[in-house]
Amino acid sequence: MEPVDIGLWGVPLAILGGAIRVSTPFIFVSLGEAITERSGRINLGLEGTLVFGAMSAYATAVLTGSPWLGVLVAAATGAIFGLFHGWICKFPKVNDIAIGIALMLFGSGLAFFFGKPFIQPSAPDLPAIPFGWWSSIPQVQAALSINVLFLIGAALAVFLWWAFKNTRAGLILRVVGDSSDAARAMGLNPDTVRLFATATGGALAAIGGAYLSLYYPGSWSEGVSSGQGLMAVALVIFARWNPLGCFAAALLFGGAGALGPALQSVGVTQGYYLFYAAPYVLTLAIMILTSSPGRSLAGAPGELSITK
């Protein structure tokens, strides 16, 4: 069968496929940060956690031949980073943001040190489901080849949205995030709740890193993240700490990130590289809008550092 020319339809199809691929790490990191911030703690160290998760997942997949084992190891390392962050931040007069920046640098440096032997070896990729099997058009097939982790992230967003409102664990998380005094009056230990929330957030961020190294772009290098862990923090604020909002905002960021490659795929050879900056411009715009004196941080947990 001769190849089908789909003309201008190639751009939206490429953006759709790119949005799904690029958004997946944002989904996991933003959901993890939403859990952490709902408990009243901010973790800027997720960039380092994501990079170390990418390295540990790739190294595990190279050594064992199992990408899913790599994902599990990444989640475990992310949880350890989160526990370490939560343990330090429970001490009096310790600043969440300063510790997060320190752990971001520590995690990235540790990943670069231990990851050097794994830059050249090839690891098996995570599987994708070919939802475009019904079409003979290659662009449609490529756009609808969806990685399993994207589907897991979408289901997790819906579950967390429901759990925050309808479960005892969600109520505990919201009470601790809104008022430590109210939590203590209920017999809760805010430090313990925040410790586990930060560990969970770290585990999810590291899974996002595993996706980067084991599927898209599908390799380990020191520049694999491109600041996605930090951008996800802005994304959570933009989404107003709502998991469904995080999912939608991640797709928006993913679409912005896919714009440059989409234009290149249809033959735009001049100026397309400027669109590679779209996610960073979008992040800057979101931070300006959410920091405007005329806008309140609606939905922000009362104990969060940025609200004090």
Tell me the pLDDT band of 1, cut-offs 50, 70 and 90.
very low
Summarize pLDDT for 115-140 with one digit per residue, the tens: 999 998 999 999 999 988 877 777 77
pLDDT in tens, 266-295: 566 666 667 767 777 777 777 677 665 545
* Cα torsion 56, 115, 87, 240: sign: negative
DSSP letter assigned to residue 131: T
Q: What is the pLDDT of residue 292?
A: 58
pLDDT value for 228:
85
Task: Read off the pLDDT of residues 11-48 as tens digits, 9 standing for 90 and up.
Answer: 777 788 888 999 999 999 999 999 999 999 999 999 99
Give dist(CA 240, CA 305) in Å, integer: 15
Q: Which of 294, 305, 307 is nearest to 42 (CA)?
A: 305
Q: Which helix (H) or strand (E) holds 71?
A: helix 67-89
Beta carbons within 10 angstroms of residue 175's beta carbon = 20
Does 234 or 7 have the greater pLDDT score?
234
Q: What is the pLDDT of residue 273?
A: 64
**What is the arithmetic mean of pLDDT over 89-112?**
92
More confident residue, 81 or 257: 81
Q: For residue 305, what pLDDT band results from cuts at 50, 70 and 90?
A: low
Q: Provide the pLDDT for residue 2.
A: 45
Cα dihedral across residues 9, 10, 16, 17: positive or negative: positive
Q: 306: pLDDT confidence band, cut at 50, 70 and 90?
A: low
Cβ–Cβ < 8 Å for 100, 44: yes
Residue-wise pLDDT for 179-237, tens only, equals 999 999 999 999 999 999 999 999 999 999 999 999 988 899 988 888 888 888 888 98
54 vs 271: which has the higher pLDDT: 54
pLDDT of residue 147: 95
Q: What global pTM score does this model have?
A: 0.91
Q: With residue 128 as reference, give the H or E element that holds it.
A: strand 128-130
Write the burial class of residue 204 (CB in 10 Å: 0-12 exposed, 13-18 middle, 19+ buried). buried
